[in-house]
């Protein structure tokens, strides 16, 4: 007897689907991409009553239309023959709105059960749902849970076992009765004969006919392959189907949902301000600033530990390993690679923990959807969701915040696009290093002009980057307007948010340490030399390509510093110090094993021409943010290919910008 069952979680964004997936699978999950699609694929397992369940967390969407790769992946997956059950999740606190996915599922013959989430929020709002009556009307198993509370899952597991055993499918007779009595009845009946050509075992002709009414491109393509081309469609067909579905939902929920409590006047007033066309943006900016400050406060203890770790472990390595007779060169290697990597990764995951914690709160209380609503039109002009603004603003603090914060983006393609665009935002470390150099080379007034130039280039870079990556990740012809429901406000579940943030931090730490270590080892050997900087491979590479880099505006000294900036922005001054002030080796100044000269800014200002300095400042500012940002991007996208593409794009554009600025600057400086 096969004791393995395949189930899928389906639901709209903010339905609690990811929470249920994490609660069920815990650490037994992995994330990748769907074959041939730029869509995130989450899978995991759990065991109950000696049965192992393989769970697929399907992309969140508002319907089963074919408007995006996410929706196409979902449709294809739920029609798979090997799938035993679909658990369709709906928010009980706003059931009238969140049942639309179920209405669109009607006609799919894969067994399904309905899971009502956020029952605690519904009860707090004075809503009561008669689960048994709803189950009778739908003809399938229905249960209610509080997604973050595993104690409430007892009814879920009972319904799960019953649903798989019975194999019940959704009773959609009432829905099709409404359609046949509505304005689109004639067209619907006309499509039924054609629909039977491609319906198959898991899709009813009625479901196909409804999609034909909606001018569904995927279904039209399927019929075209069967020889049915130039099918006449009705531009109002989508209105007919949506109207029928909402009428069906209204009939379903009559006498099932009762509401005995008025909404909070205070929250209603705040919400008017939060979604207002003008006030909403000011509210969002204020909350973003508070969120960034809060993230820095939460992250500071862990980041401080990561920063202090080398100063604790390095002397320990000297005394312990030295006492064991280990050579100084090996100890130096351990300090510059293993200990440095460990310190950097701990600091990185500290910020990632903080960002997940802060964003978790904003998402939990229901505010993130408001940000998307308020800024959707503005961000939509460059092909991004309104939610993308939040992680981009966080990028001014740390690019890792941008990459980690991009998890709130529903579309995987737009998540990658958001990360790519957010890399153009100079981080806090940049705003520490660059003004120091700008003021040293150009004085206070000139330094301010340089910073204004950087901000101008940043805006231009964001627009161009969105267009470049948008061609593949979010083509103009596939962009649609915002379709969403604003979730109700509710209290954050602190324990759940904290636990999820810890899980995310640990997951990143496991993957990040090995990557950071490998890069540090490579950089160690590239920059290592017993005979000064001139003996390093990095120096030889720099001098070899200097004829090319000089055209860009970077001689070997500034080019080496540009390369070091890919490891960390703070390393720039250290490498310049090693080159111009002989303060230590490149690897030591990059990793902090050697101190930077106190007056390095003044030393390099006297040694580097102003045109080259300006090109160098621009190149460093818009280079790869840092190694930690690269690792964080890989962990968030789960794609070495896209991480490499983004990294290569920023290296190339940084050098192109430097070349343009240099050749203009030599005319005036």
Alpha-carbon torsion (125, 127, 132, 136), positive or negative: negative
* CA–CA gap between residue 616 and residue 623 (Å, rounded): 10
pLDDT recorded at residue 593:
67
pLDDT recorded at residue 594:
65
Domains 4-171 and 174-259 share a fold: no
* CA–CA gap between residue 503 and residue 39 (Å, rounded): 22
Is domain 4-171 given the CATH code 3.40.50.300 in the classification?
yes
* Cα atoms found within 13 Å of the Cα of residue 551, Cβ hemisphere only: 4
SS3 114: strand
Q: What is the bridge-based pairing of β-strands 112-117 and 40-48?
A: unpaired
CATH value of 174-259 in 1.10.287, 1.10.30, 1.10.1060, 1.10.3470: 1.10.287
**335: closest CA among 524, 560, 596?**
524
- b or e along 404-438 (b: 16 or more beta carbons within 10 Å of the residue's beta carbon)? bbbbbbbbbbbbbbbbbbbbbbbbebbbebbbebb
Domain boundaries, the chain: 4-171, 174-259, 272-427+458-480+489-497
- Secondary structure of 603-650 as H, E, C letters: HHHHHCCHHHHHHHHHHHHCCCCCHHHHHHHHHHHCCHHHHHHHHHHH
* CA–CA gap between residue 31 and residue 43 (Å, rounded): 6
Residues of the chain short of pLDDT 50, as ranges, are 1
pLDDT recorded at residue 221:
86
CB 56 within 8 A of CB 45: no
- Full-model pTM: 0.73
pLDDT recorded at residue 248:
92
Digit-coded pLDDT (tens) for 217-233:
888 888 888 888 878 87
pLDDT recorded at residue 484:
53
Digit-coded pLDDT (tens) for 471-504:
888 777 666 555 555 677 777 778 778 888 888 7
**403: closest CA among 386, 434, 380, 427?**
427
């Amino acid at each position: 007897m096969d004791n393995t069952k395949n189930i899928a979680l389906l639901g709209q964004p903010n339905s609690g689907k990811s929470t249920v997936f994490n609660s069920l699978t815990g650490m037994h999950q992995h994330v990748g991409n769907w074959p041939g699609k730029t869509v995130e694929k989450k899978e995991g397992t759990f065991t109950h009553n000696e049965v192992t369940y393989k769970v697929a967390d399907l992309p969140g969407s508002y319907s089963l239309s074919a408007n995006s790769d996410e929706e196409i992946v979902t449709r294809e997956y739920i029609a798979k023959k090997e799938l035993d059950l679909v658990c369709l999740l709906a928010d009980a606190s706003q059931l009238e709105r969140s049942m639309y996915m179920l209405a669109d599922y009607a006609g799919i013959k894969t067994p399904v059960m309905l899971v009502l989430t956020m029952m605690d929020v519904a009860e707090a709002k004075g809503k009561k749902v008669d689960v048994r009556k709803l189950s009778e009307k739908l003809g399938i198993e229905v249960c209610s849970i509080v997604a973050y509370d595993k104690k409430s899952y007892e009814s879920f597991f009972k319904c799960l076992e019953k649903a798989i055993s019975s194999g019940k499918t959704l009773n959609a007779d009432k829905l099709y009765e409404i359609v046949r009595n509505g304005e689109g009845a004639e067209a619907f009946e006309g499509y039924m004969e054609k629909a039977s050509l491609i319906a198959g075992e898991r899709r009813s002709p009625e479901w196909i006919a409804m999609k034909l009414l909606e001018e569904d491109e995927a279904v039209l393509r399927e019929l075209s392959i069967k020889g049915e081309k130039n099918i006449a469609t009705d531009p109002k067909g989508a209105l007919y189907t949506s109207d029928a579905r909402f009428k069906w939902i209204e009939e379903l929920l009559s006498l099932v949902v009762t509401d005995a409590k008025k909404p909070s006047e205070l929250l209603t007033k705040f919400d008017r301000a939060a979604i207002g066309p003008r006030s909403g943006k000011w509210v969002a900016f204020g909350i973003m600033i508070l969120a960034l400050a809060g993230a820095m406060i939460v992250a500071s203890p862990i980041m401080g530990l990561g920063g202090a770790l080398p100063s604790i472990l390095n002397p320990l390595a000297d005394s312990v390993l030295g006492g064991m007779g280990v050579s100084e060169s090996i100890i130096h290697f351990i300090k510059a690679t293993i200990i440095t990597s460990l310190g950097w990764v701990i600091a990185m995951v500290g910020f990632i923990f903080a960002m997940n914690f802060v964003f978790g709160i904003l998402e939990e209380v229901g505010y993130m959807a408001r940000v998307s609503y308020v800024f959707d039109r503005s961000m939509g002009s460059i092909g991004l969701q309104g939610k993308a603004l939040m992680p981009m603003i966080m990028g001014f603090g740390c690019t890792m915040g941008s990459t980690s914060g991009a998890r709130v983006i529903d579309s995987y393609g737009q998540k990658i696009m958001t990360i790519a665009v957010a890399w153009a935002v100079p981080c806090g470390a940049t705003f520490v290093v660059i003004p120091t150099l700008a003021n040293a080379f150009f004085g206070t007034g000139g330094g301010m002009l340089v910073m204004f130039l950087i901000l101008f280039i940043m805006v231009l870079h964001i627009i161009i980057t969105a267009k470049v990556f948008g061609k593949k990740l979010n083509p103009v012809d596939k962009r649609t307007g915002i379709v969403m429901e604003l979730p109700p406000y509710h209290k954050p579940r602190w324990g759940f948010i904290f636990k999820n943030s810890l899980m995310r931090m640990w997951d990143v730490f496991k993957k990040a340490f090995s990557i950071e270590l490998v890069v540090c080892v490579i950089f160690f050997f590239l920059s290592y030399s017993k005979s000064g900087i001139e003996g390093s491979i990095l120096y030889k590479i720099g001098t070899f390509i200097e004829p090319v880099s000089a055209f860009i505006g970077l001689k070997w000294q500034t080019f080496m510093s540009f390369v070091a900036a890919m490891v960390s922005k703070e390393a720039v001054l250290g490498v310049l110090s090693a080159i111009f002030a002989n303060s230590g080796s490149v690897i030591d100044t990059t990793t902090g094993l050697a101190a930077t000269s106190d007056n390095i800014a003044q030393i390099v200002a006297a040694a580097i021409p102003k045109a080259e300095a300006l090109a160098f400042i621009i190149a460093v500012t818009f280079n790869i943010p840092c190694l930690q940002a690269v690792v964080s991007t890989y962990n968030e996208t789960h794609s070495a290919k896209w991480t490499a593409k983004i990294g290569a794009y920023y290296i190339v554009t940084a050098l192109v910008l430097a070349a343009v600025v240099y050749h203009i600057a030599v005319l005036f400086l």
